[in-house]
Amino acid sequence: MLPPPRTYAVWLAVIRIYTGIFWLSHGIPKLLNPQFFGASGMMAGMLHEATGHGHGPYNDFLIHVVLPNAGVFSHLVAWGETLTGVSLLLGLFTRAGGVVGVFLPLNYFMMKGSYGDITAIGSLDIAAAALSFIHVVLPTGLIAGLDAVLPGSRATRPVAGERGH
Tell me the pLDDT tens digit for each residue of 70-95: 999 999 999 999 999 999 999 999 99
pLDDT at 164 over 60: no
pLDDT at 98 over 80: yes
Q: Tens digit of pLDDT for each residue in 121-163?
A: 888 999 999 999 999 999 999 999 999 999 887 655 555 555 5
Predicted structure pTM score: 0.88
**Hey, what's the torsion of the CAs at 17, 28, 123, 120, to 10 degrees?**
130
Instruction: Kindly tell me the burial class for residue 153, based on how many C-beta atoms sit within 10 Å of its own C-beta (0-12, 13-18, 19 or more).
Output: middle
Which of these, 64, 77, 10, lies nearest to 37 by C-alpha position? 77
pLDDT digits (tens, 9 = 90+) for 29-61: 999 999 999 989 999 999 999 898 878 899 999
Contact 123/109 with Cβ under 8 angstroms? yes
Q: What is the pLDDT of residue 152?
A: 81
Tell me, what's the pLDDT at 81? 98
